[in-house]
Chain A
Amino acid sequence: MVIAAVIGGGAAAFAYTAGWLSPQRLTPNKMVDAFTPPSAMPPLGHRRNHAKGICFTGTFESNGAGTALSSAPVFVRGTYPALGRFNLGTPDPNAPDATVRVRGMGLRITAPDGQQWRTAMINAPVFPVSTPQEFYQLLLASSSKEPDAMKAFAAAHPEIAGFGAWAGGGTWTGSYAEERYNSLNAFIFTDGSGADHAVRWSLLPAAQPVALPPAELAKRGPDFLEQEITERVRGGPQRWTLAVTVANPGDPTSDPTKAWPDDRRTVDVGELIVQRIEAERDGPCRDINFDPTVLPAGIKTSDDPYPAARASAYAKSYDRRTAEAADYPRIAPGAKP
């Protein structure tokens, strides 16, 4: 009896911890599944979101100003290798470029001692919803067959209006090089004296953005963004300034739907220089998980719940796509195997 109780209790506690007794728990599996509409096939071998992308390599030239905010080695004045991926916020790796509103950049900067800073940013100025649980509901609503699902969701989540205003009324550009990429999530920088600073960051393009009507972009080829950035970088390196914005006391750090006021202290800490574009297929970014919680000492997560949720979901997406490597189209369409 005692033996059965001990063993049964142990097994039950394990099952509870694993979530097998809690079907309502939001697991990374559920989150990742939700990116694929119920009627569609998952993009085998590809990221489950931001599935379409193209690799770049270059450098991050740190000007040293960041050391006032963080002791991370990438902020020491110097030049560090950078690897990244321009991408589109879609679960469809074959989506025509003009059909996707959200453009993103995954970036990895490596310090000489091997410490890495990985970040994944998008061009939207705010995120649509405040918590990962609400984001999961948004994914379900947006793929729902109920005609009023999105209307009902938006009515229940008025904070989505900020993102909606950008998506509907913000400018579109014709180039990855003209986009501003924003961390949206708040992180904590710890400086050399041990003081913490809540920050968000953005990459500001050196290229002048040219606003184009979406109808004009729709006339271009399905991969015009990839072709354009390839041509453009072949013609010369493309630059972005990494601008770190420091929160004032009381600024919301846990809610990426809430932008901080424009007058907040901003420190330009260096420049990202994109020197080479490579196709994702067998490119250096394909098998990198741009997990925003891979951080060097001197940067840590804040009370923003998203980075943890993103890390868990990105890892699940990575596990799946690496297991599906056989389904990834490694050979160019039309080429002989």
Chain B
Amino acid sequence: MMGVLNRFTPVQRALHWLMAACILAMLFIGVGMVSTVMPKYLTLVSIHKPLGIAILVLALIRLVVRLRYGTPALPADLPEPMKLAAHLSHYALYALMIGLPLIGWAMLSAAAYPVVLYGGVHLPAILPQSDSMHTLLWNAHYYLAFAFFALILLHAAAALFHALVRRDGVFEQMAPIPVGTSKKVVPAE
């Protein structure tokens, strides 16, 4: 299915930008909440948990949609190392979108905290209580979150590089609205 599309489907673009907003909010809420003792700590935590589960659900939907509709091809003249980087970084992004919420859920389970989504709505524990698992998962959640943010910055830098420097149409494939056809894919140029 690769290469069938010129752009991502509207549902893929909608999911991408919705999740971009959710994930950025999530990462900022995460680092913010663990650095404060103020009342906003509770507000941030109460957003962090349901938003994380929402991201997990959206990521799974997105994975299915991607397997169903595929992705537009990268430009043929993109150097091989950049193609490899593009593919590997997308595997990593999907792994983190799905993995971080699961790790967070498992981490709370291992600490015997109730996983409250809203009011009386809570999720079951997915691990028995365990000091060592809690510590392992806490470290994974913490460090992978920073890795995720770094990867998102890299992803954004690459997107802007495609849009502003290479002008090869890759950015337009995922742009929320059509932003004009880029030069390299227009045969007349």
- A interface vs B, CB < 8 Å? 2-3, 6-7, 10-11, 13-14, 17-19, 25-28, 31, 73, 113-116, 132, 287-289, 291, 293-294, 296-297, 301, 303, 305, 307-309, 311-313, 318-319, 322-323, 325
Does B37 contact A309, Cβ atoms closer than 8 Å? yes
Does B42 contact A293, Cβ atoms closer than 8 Å? yes
Q: Mark B128-140, 1 if CB is under 8 A from A, else 0.
A: 0101101100100
Identify the closest chain B residue to A13 (Cβ): B28
Given A3-B164, A14-B149, residue A115 in contact with residue B36 (CB < 8 A)? no
Contacts of B42 in A (CB 8 A): 293, 301, 307-308, 311
Does B122 lie at the interface of the complex (its beta carbon under 8 Å from any beta carbon of A)? Answer: yes
Contacts of A11 in B (CB 8 A): 153
Q: How far is the CB of B25 from chain A (nearest CB, A)?
A: 11
Chain B interface size band reads 35 or more
Does B21 lie at the interface of the complex (its beta carbon under 8 Å from any beta carbon of A)? Answer: no
In the bound complex, what is the Cα–Cα distance between A312 and B35 (angstroms)? 9
Does A322 contact B120, Cβ atoms closer than 8 Å? no
Does B31 contact A17, Cβ atoms closer than 8 Å? yes
In the bound complex, what is the Cα–Cα distance between A115 and B28 (angstroms)? 29
Q: How far is the CB of A134 from chain B (nearest CB, A)?
A: 12
In the bound complex, what is the Cα–Cα distance between A309 and B157 (angstroms)? 38
How would you classify the secondary structure of chain B's contact residues: helix, strand, loop or mixed? helix
Given A289-B113, A322-B134, residue A296 in contact with residue B120 (CB < 8 A)? yes
Given A116-B114, A288-B112, A294-B114, residue A325 in contact with residue B37 (CB < 8 A)? no
Identify the closest chain A residue to B135 (Cβ): A323
In the bound complex, what is the Cα–Cα distance between A179 and B113 (angstroms)? 28
Contacts of B187 in A (CB 8 A): none
Does A308 contact B37, Cβ atoms closer than 8 Å? yes
Contacts of B161 in A (CB 8 A): 3
Contacts of A293 in B (CB 8 A): 42
Does B41 contact A7, Cβ atoms closer than 8 Å? no
Q: Which of B86-144 contact A (CB under 8 A)?
A: 111-114, 119-120, 122, 129, 131-132, 134-135, 138
Q: Which of B36, B113, B122, B129 contacts A27 (CB 8 A)?
A: B36
Q: Which of B31, B33, B111, B164 contacts A14 (CB 8 A)?
A: B31
Identify the closest chain B residue to A325 (Cβ): B131
Does A28 contact B34, Cβ atoms closer than 8 Å? yes
Does B135 contact A322, Cβ atoms closer than 8 Å? yes
In the bound complex, what is the Cα–Cα distance between A294 and B112 (angstroms)? 11
Contacts of A311 in B (CB 8 A): 41-42, 45
Q: How far is the CB of B92 from chain A (nearest CB, A)?
A: 18
Given A26-B37, A305-B38, residue A115 in contact with residue B32 (CB < 8 A)? no
Given A13-B28, A296-B120, A325-B132, residue A25 in contact with residue B35 (CB < 8 A)? yes
Does B138 contact A305, Cβ atoms closer than 8 Å? no
Given A3-B160, A309-B38, residue A287 in contact with residue B120 (CB < 8 A)? no
Does B129 contact A287, Cβ atoms closer than 8 Å? yes
In the bound complex, what is the Cα–Cα distance between A2 and B156 (angstroms)? 11
Q: How far is the CB of A190 from chain B (nearest CB, A)?
A: 10
Does A115 contact B114, Cβ atoms closer than 8 Å? yes
Contacts of A296 in B (CB 8 A): 120
Contacts of B153 in A (CB 8 A): 7, 10-11
Contacts of A114 in B (CB 8 A): 114, 122
Given A308-B37, A308-B39, A308-B42, residue A3 in contact with residue B157 (CB < 8 A)? yes
Q: How far is the CB of A241 from chain B (nearest CB, A)?
A: 26
In the bound complex, what is the Cα–Cα distance between A308 and B135 (angstroms)? 23
Q: Mark B7-38, 1 if CB is under 8 A from A, else 0.
A: 00000000000000000000110011111111
Contacts of B34 in A (CB 8 A): 27-28, 312
Does B37 contact A313, Cβ atoms closer than 8 Å? yes
Further pairs besides A14-B149, A19-B31, A323-B135: 7, Cβ < 8 Å: A2-B160, A10-B153, A18-B35, A27-B37, A301-B42, A305-B39, A308-B39
In the bound complex, what is the Cα–Cα distance between A289 and B112 (angstroms)? 8
Contacts of A307 in B (CB 8 A): 42
Q: Which of A2, A25, A289, A303 contacts B36 (CB 8 A)?
A: A25
Does A14 contact B157, Cβ atoms closer than 8 Å? no
In the bound complex, what is the Cα–Cα distance between A31 and B138 (angstroms)? 20
Contacts of B112 in A (CB 8 A): 287-289
Q: How far is the CB of B20 from chain A (nearest CB, A)?
A: 12
Contacts of B164 in A (CB 8 A): 2-3
In the bound complex, what is the Cα–Cα distance between A116 and B111 (angstroms)? 14
In the bound complex, what is the Cα–Cα distance between A113 and B121 (angstroms)? 10
Contacts of A291 in B (CB 8 A): 113
